[in-house]
């Protein structure tokens, strides 16, 4: 039962994040972000990056590998940092 509530919460957060991108940043989300042949979980990406101190901290400390592990992405993706920043 908890899984259903977690999924609904994650969906609501992802929708709020997409709205934020459109309203504040002026950048609409026109396509579903895909990485390693799977849909990129924007909510989890946002949560992981903010837990590490935000985008600037993740970039400066070069800890994208930790972010990719948290997203359960394959370690074989050598362009993960670039791909995640541009999604």
Cα 31 off chain centre by: 14
Position 60 scores a pLDDT of 92
Position 37 scores a pLDDT of 80
Where along the chain do its domains lie? 1-79
Ramachandran region, residue 15 (left: φ > 0; alpha: ψ -120 to 50; beta: rest): alpha
Tokens encoding 64 = 């994208």
Which residue ranges of the chain lie beneath pLDDT 70? 1-7, 20-29, 87
The answer for residues whose C-beta is within 8 angstroms of residue 69's C-beta and 6 or more apart is 75
DSSP string, 58-82: HHHHT-HHHHHHHTT--TT-TTHHH
Position 1 scores a pLDDT of 46
Contact call for residues 35 and 74 (beta carbons, < 8 A)? no
Position 81 scores a pLDDT of 77
């Amino acid at each position: 039962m908890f899984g259903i509530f977690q999924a609904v919460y994650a969906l609501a957060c992802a929708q709020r994040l997409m709205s934020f991108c459109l309203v504040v940043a002026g950048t609409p989300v026109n396509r579903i972000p895909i990485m390693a042949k799977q849909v990129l979980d924007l909510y989890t990406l946002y949560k992981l990056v903010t837990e590490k101190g935000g985008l600037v901290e993740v970039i400066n400390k070069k800890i994208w590998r930790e972010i990719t592990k948290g997203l359960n992405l394959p370690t074989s993706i050598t362009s993960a940092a670039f791909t995640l920043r541009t999604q």
